[in-house]
Amino acid sequence: MKVTKFTVNPFGENTFLAWDEATRHAAIIDPGMMQEHERNVVVQFIEQNQLVMQWVLLTHCHIDHVTSARWMADRYDIPVAASPLDDLLAQALPQQAQHFRLNIPLDALSVDKPLHDGDVITLGGETLHVLATPGHSQGGLIFYAPDSALAFTGDTIFEGSIGRTDLPGGDYDTLIGSIRAKVLTLPSDTMLIPGHGPSTTVANERDYNPYL
C-alpha cells in the first residue's frame, strides 16, 4: 500500500491518501483540510497520480479530522465511512467549530457507510481491517493494513503519547484498554501512522510509551 501524508489545519492534523499501486484505487483518511489551498494540494496530488477515489474514511469525528469529508465525498462521488458511535460528534460539527473558535462554515456531517469492528475495506488488492478503539471518542477506529504492516491510528495513540480523553465521549480507562487490546496485539513491526505527529511502531510504543 502506498501512503502520502498531508499535514493540515491549525491543529497540525495528518490527512492521508492510501492506495493500491496496481489499480490506483484510493481512500482519503481523515480529510481535515480547512482552507482552499489545502484542498487544492490534495486534489492536485490525486490528479497527478491518477488515483481512483473509493472512500472517505474517518478514524473519528472530531472537527480537525473531518472538515473536508463531505467536500471530498461530493467531489468524487464516494461514501463517507465512520463509526455510528460518533454520529453525535458528526452532527455537532457547527458546535465544534464554535467551541474551537474556528471561523469556517460547516454543516452537520452525515455518515454514508457505518463501520464496525471487524469490517474489511478493499482497495484493489489491498485491504484495511477496521478495529474499534473507543476512548478518545466513543467511535474511534483504526484502519489496519496487514499486508503492508501499517495502521492508521487517528488519535488513539501517538509516538510516546495517547489521545486526549477530556473531550465529549472520551474516557481514559477505555482508551488504555483499547490500546492494549487492539494496538499492542498487532505484530511488533507494524508501523503506527497517527493523526498528529510522526509515525512509530508497535514495538516502540510497547517498550517506551510512558502511558502504557
If one counts the domains in the chain, the total is 1
The CA distance from 6 to 198, in Å, is 12
Domain with 161 in it: what CATH number?
A: 3.60.15.10
- Pick out the chain residues at pLDDT < 50: none
| Residue 3 phi, psi dihedral angles, 5° rounding | -135, 135
pLDDT of residue 103: 87
Question: pLDDT tens digits, residue range 22-73?
Answer: 999 999 999 999 999 999 999 999 999 999 999 999 999 999 999 999 999 9
Residue 137's contacts (CB-CB under 8 Å, 6 or more residues apart) are 60, 61, 62, 85, 86, 89, 155, 167, 168, 169, 170
Return the exposure string of 165-177: e unless at least 16 CB atoms fall within 10 Å of the residue's CB, then b: beeebbbeebbee
Closest CA to 68 of 29, 112, 26, 121: 29
Q: Report pLDDT for 16.
A: 98
Domain that holds residue 7: 2-208
Residue 105's pLDDT is 86
d(CA 206, CA 157): 11
Distance (Å, rounded) from C-alpha 204 to C-alpha 163?
17
pLDDT at 50: 98
Q: Which three cell numbers stand for residue 95?
A: 458546535
